[in-house]
Amino acid sequence: MLFNSIHFLLLFLPVTLAAFYCATLVSQGLAKIVLIVASIIFYTVWMPANLWVLLGSTVVTYLLALGILLEHDRGRPERRKLLLVIGLVFNLLLLGYFKYTPFLVETANEVFSLSRTIPRIVLPLGISFFTFQKIAFLIDVYDRQVGKVSFLDYCLFVFFFPQLIAGPIVHHREIIPQLEKRSFGVKEVELYTGITLLVIGLAKKVLIADTLAGTQIAGFQALAQGNAIGFGGAWMTMLSATLQIYFDFSGYSDMAVGLALMFGIRLPLNFNSPFKASNLVELWARWHMSLTRFLTAYIYNPIVMAVSRRWAASGRPLPKKGRVTVAGYFAIIAFPTVATMVLAGIWHGAGFQFLMFGLLNGVMMAICHGWRQFVQARGWAGNEPGFTKPMAVVATFIAFLFTLVFFKAPSLSVGIQMVANMLGQHSVSTTVNILDIGLIAILLGVVWFLPNSQEIVALSTQKRPAALSSGIQANLQRYLTWQPSAGWAMAMGTLGFVSLIGIVIGRESPFLYFQF
């Protein structure tokens, strides 16, 4: 079921909310059961065939976690480790089978000139997300960072529908303590804040992201058919695509956080004005924040630890006070960064274009780290004039836009074609619609100068970059700070209505991250 479908918004959500509210009056256990059942219905309506993957992997992971705890109590570390390895392999194999088998068979056919039939495997919705959640849970159980969790709470942590299909990738420490609280249930302020976020997110998706979809689809289709689209066409395509991804994912994240709040659960923020970032490292700390956090904790840090141990074991000096040698930088900083981002790229999808997406981001992030290490840390930079910060923001945006070419392209070759067109390699004259340019300019203004949703509803405590916080912006922010007032209620009611009309007129298109 889509968040942006009439059935979800006008039927599933009100019924679930009412049932949940009534259940909380009886007992918290019943309320949790209501949410679990609703989440299973939410998942099943879309793709009933793959429910067994979600249910089966959830139960197996829980049993393995219990086993790990038991073996710890019995003082048998080898068995504990074995159970962890089984759990990791089981979850990764499941993800690998469903997500990567067709790609691997296709690649093997091409490389070894084989003619094996490419299996048609339906990707279980959200498998990339719930697999990560379960892996994190298992590792933390192994590390004794989490004790025994009731099966009901664990199921709700995995199944909870606002985050089930496309994240945020929640950590058990963020969710399970909330479920164990006596106050778990619907709260007035959170309900209203949640509804407001839901409406804002819906509007971003339906009124902005879906409107931008047409231009970029046409551009990529033309390239896939072997036609050049020229410099102007390529830039319009990629600007539309970039803003579409931005508003689609931002809209989804707002809706997910808002929906969870309506049920009294706070999900971690997932999207915090990433295009206001002045370098790619900062951008990734603001874009798909829960994924970045997972990658840092469970992939990047272990790689850094392993490399650092080897580095130290070989007698070479570890970085001290931020000072690092060139060799140390490559081994301890650049390599883990690139490796992590390549894995992140492949996580997004099975295809060489996703690998390129990850690689480009990794390399550019490594360069950012290098700049910090070798330029800023040595005091060679720091007193730049005021305009350099906005320039850095724009440069970061353009750099990220180039990487998104490979995120959106149906294949690596189409991605390369797009870059070639953007660099003016194909002199094809294209007519660029002035209205499209105007729309993109307005949306870039929104992205760069307006407060984001969590700032509007005062969920975020993160300060916005100082260079962009002018007096006008401060006033705007004050004016745009949400209050549960009649004016805001009418504004949100109007926006909600217009968004619903947008759904009726357009079509219910899935969020881009649903394909992962």
Partner 1 sequence: MKKYLPILLMTMLAFSSGTAAVLAFAGRATNSTMPVREMARRQMKDPKVIALPFDLTYWGDYKLGMAALQRPDVILVGPSRASQVRSDMFRPYSFYNMALTAWNIDQTTEMLEEVFRRFRPRVAIVDMDYFMFSEPYVKSVKARDMWFNAPVRYELDILPQILKEWTSNPSYFDRAFSDRRRQDRPELERSLGFAALRGANGFRKDGSYQHGQATFDQSVEKLKINEGILQAIPGAPKVSDVQLQKLSKLADLAKKNGVILIGIQFPMWQETVKVLDTDQKYRQSSGVWREFQSDEMQGRFEKLGIAFFDLSRDPVTTEYRNFIDAAHPSERGMLVSLISLSKNAKFLSILPELDTRGLENDLARADGSNDAFTIYGDAH
Residues noted as catalytic:
348
Smaller CB distance to partner 1: residue 34 or 492?
Answer: 492
Could you say which of 191, 203, 241, 364 contacts partner 1 (CB under 8 A)? 191
Q: What interhelical angle do 388-408 and 412-422 show, nearest 10?
A: 140
List all residues 6 or more positions away from 77 whose beta carbon is below 8 Å from its beta carbon: 71
Q: Is there a contact between 286 and 274 (Cβ–Cβ < 8 Å)?
A: yes
C-alpha span between 404 and 4 (Å, rounded): 24
Q: Is there a contact between 360 and 402 (Cβ–Cβ < 8 Å)?
A: yes
C-alpha span between 455 and 253 (Å, rounded): 14
CB of 196 to partner 1, least distance (A): 9
Half-sphere exposure in the Cβ direction for 344 (13 Å, CA):
30
Q: CB under 8 A: which stretch of 392-400, 402-410, 469-477, 478-486 binds partner 1?
A: 478-486
C-alpha span between 125 and 50 (Å, rounded): 8
Q: CB under 8 A: which stretch of 162-170, 322-330, 367-375, 483-491 binds partner 1?
A: 483-491
Smaller CB distance to partner 1: residue 65 or 259?
Answer: 259
Restricting to residues 161-190, which ones interact with partner 1 according to CB under 8 A?
188-189
Smaller CB distance to partner 1: residue 175 or 492?
Answer: 492
Q: Is there a contact between 168 and 289 (Cβ–Cβ < 8 Å)?
A: yes
CB of 355 to partner 1, least distance (A): 31
Could you say which of 125, 195, 238, 342 contacts partner 1 (CB under 8 A)? 195
Can you tell me whether residue 271 is helix, strand or coil? strand
Q: Does 493 bind partner 1 (CB under 8 A)?
A: yes
Q: Does 258 bind partner 1 (CB under 8 A)?
A: no
Could you say which of 488, 508, 509, 514 contacts partner 1 (CB under 8 A)? 488
Q: CB under 8 A: which stretch of 205-213, 287-295, 341-349, 488-496 binds partner 1?
A: 488-496
C-alpha span between 498 and 489 (Å, rounded): 14
CB of 222 to partner 1, least distance (A): 22
Overall size of the chain counted in residues: 516
C-alpha span between 287 and 393 (Å, rounded): 14
Q: Does 486 bind partner 1 (CB under 8 A)?
A: yes
Q: Does 492 bind partner 1 (CB under 8 A)?
A: yes
C-alpha span between 101 and 89 (Å, rounded): 16
State the binding string over 40-79 for partner 1 (x if CB under 8 A, else -). ----------------------------------------
- Tokens representing 146 are 């989490």
CB of 344 to partner 1, least distance (A): 36
Smaller CB distance to partner 1: residue 434 or 486?
Answer: 486
- Tokens representing 114 are 């084989």
Could you say which of 56, 424, 445, 484 contacts partner 1 (CB under 8 A)? 484
Could you say which of 192, 275, 311, 397 contacts partner 1 (CB under 8 A)? 192
Could you say which of 217, 428, 476, 500 contacts partner 1 (CB under 8 A)? 500
Could you say which of 325, 378, 501, 515 contacts partner 1 (CB under 8 A)? 501
Residue 394, Cα to own-chain centre: how many angstroms?
22
CB of 189 to partner 1, least distance (A): 8
CB of 98 to partner 1, least distance (A): 21
CB of 195 to partner 1, least distance (A): 7
Q: CB under 8 A: which stretch of 87-95, 172-180, 307-315, 498-506 binds partner 1?
A: 498-506
C-alpha span between 46 and 55 (Å, rounded): 15
Could you say which of 496, 511, 513, 516 contacts partner 1 (CB under 8 A)? 496
Interface with partner 1 (CB under 8 A), residue total 20
Cβ burial of 242 (10 Å; 0-12, 13-18, 19+) is: buried
CB of 164 to partner 1, least distance (A): 25
Block residue for tokens 């294209």: 430
Q: For the residues of 126-193, what is the DSSP string, one character each? A: THHHHHHHHHHHHHHHHTTSS----HHHHHHHHH-HHHHTT-----HHHHHHHHHSTT-S--HHHHHH
C-alpha span between 381 and 429 (Å, rounded): 42
Q: Does 458 bind partner 1 (CB under 8 A)?
A: no
> Site residues (CB under 8 A) for partner 1?
188-189, 191-192, 195, 484-486, 488-490, 492-494, 496-497, 500-501, 504-505
